[in-house]
Amino acid sequence: MNHAELVKNAGVVGAGGAGFPTHAKIGARVDVVLANGAECEPLLHSDQFVMLDRAEQILDGLRTVMETTGAKRGVVCIKEKNTRGAKELEKHLTKNVSILALGDFYPAGDEHILTFEATGKITPEGGLPIDVGVLVQNVTTLANVARALKGEAVTSKVVTVGGEVAKPGVHVIPVGTPLSDVIAACGGPIRDDGVALLNGPMMGRLVEPSKEVVTKTTGGLFLLPRDNPLAQRLSRPLSADIRLSRGACEQCRYCTDFCPRYLQGHSLKPHMIMRVMNEQREPEVETVTDSFLCCECGVCDLFACPLSLSPRRFYREFKASLSARKIWLRKRNKKCEADLYREHRRVPKGKLTRRIGVSGYDLAPEFHGKEWDVDAVEIPLSMHIGVAAEPVVRIGDKVGRGTVVGKIASGKLGADVHASIAGVVTKINGRIRIERRGA
């Protein structure tokens, strides 16, 4: 079996983003592979833990992907402030692999931004770093690639738990563990009026913990008071965002001037989408299709706009509406040039954390390396890009940790899913419930 097949069988997906199936990415031909350890989202410390605990696996995974892609060079991209992680990684470097120290700015870990920082190359509009010979893989994904080569499936995730929770920390949690159980195991909420934020303040979303579970892409879970400014922003209905923007947007352009994708030379101009919303006129086609250039980093609304308006939200709505009509942005061959002021308009992470009202939760959390023992999990059949896996077990089946419980149909893009604990299958309904009893 070749490397890509082993990675596919282990159900490895991009751990730091939307969960693109890794086996489908590592067949590309590129010049350089970037291990993304930037972890730029405020409050998250999960990848930092992985770099301390699994440095050798990360480097093994990186060399494996360099081999499958034909890349001559590998670069581990890590924040310069993460000196402990760098020390661990340095122990396992080889001559074709180096470390790039990044400044503490947001969004250093965006794959376009990382590509530019590491190679000086600009990803084309509507394209991917692969188009300029670069493959970006999150450090946790690379550690999972190394484990896959030894036959180990992805069954757990390193998650930062913080905010208004009694015992904040970084934990190794079986995939499928309900978020409400995660909060309870971390001592429960400190206050009753909290809301739960999944995956981080900039790109995360508010969730109902009793309805969601840890997946292969979960990075963090935070409780915020309901009156926290960020919690209020994220709870604002679309109608309120539209009303506010019509009354308040002064077309100052700060949202555009700080947009990281605009600054790397893409034609995205968030103040223009605000003009469309505010003037309620027929927009130029390009202003709307440019929505696909937005990576939803949140710099425009949570950092740049003096009036807390949200071009990101409108881009997201336009993207959803165009995608529903099967309209996508095709790669453009336009020559892009980085903005002269790009270097000076990077968003310092400390300032960002203060501005969004979460600096009080920015603690150095305790790392807990031992994987949790949980009594029951509900493993989603879809926690990746592509089609959902099809169940290959029945109610009453006994499974071991790592048993395949859902498989992707042949020829389809997706990822297999595996039992994260040993036990008995008790329910199949979009998720596979496994209970430890009788195992």
Residues that bind ligand SF4 (CB under 6 A): 249-255, 259, 261, 268, 270-271, 274, 294-300, 304-305, 307, 309, 311-312, 315
DSSP 8-state code for residue 430: S
- Which tokens in the block code for residue 276? 């469309």
- Which tokens in the block code for residue 408? 């992707």
- Of 214 and 304, the one with the shorter C-beta distance to ligand SF4 is 304
Q: How far is the CB of 113 from ligand SF4 (least distance, A)?
A: 10
* β pairing state of 156-163 and 220-225: parallel
- Of 222 and 262, the one with the shorter C-beta distance to ligand SF4 is 262
CA distance 280 to 274: 10
Q: How far is the CB of 312 from ligand SF4 (least distance, A)?
A: 4
- Of 208 and 328, the one with the shorter C-beta distance to ligand SF4 is 328
- Of 25 and 312, the one with the shorter C-beta distance to ligand SF4 is 312
Q: How far is the CB of 293 from ligand SF4 (least distance, A)?
A: 7
- Which tokens in the block code for residue 413? 């893009």
CA distance 279 to 249: 11
Taking CA atoms, 18 is separated from 59, 296, 332, 349, 381, in Å, by 23, 12, 23, 22, 15
Q: How far is the CB of 339 from ligand SF4 (least distance, A)?
A: 13
171's enclosing H/E stretch is: strand 169-174
Q: How far is the CB of 279 from ligand SF4 (least distance, A)?
A: 12
- Of 190 and 252, the one with the shorter C-beta distance to ligand SF4 is 252
Q: How far is the CB of 426 from ligand SF4 (least distance, A)?
A: 41
CA distance 122 to 392: 43
- Of 3 and 246, the one with the shorter C-beta distance to ligand SF4 is 246
Q: How far is the CB of 37 from ligand SF4 (least distance, A)?
A: 21
Beta-carbon contacts of residue 168 (< 8 Å; ≥ 6 apart): 160, 161, 162, 186, 361, 363, 365, 366
- Which tokens in the block code for residue 438? 């009788």
Q: Do 183 and 163 form a contact (C-beta atoms < 8 A)?
A: no
- Of 198 and 295, the one with the shorter C-beta distance to ligand SF4 is 295
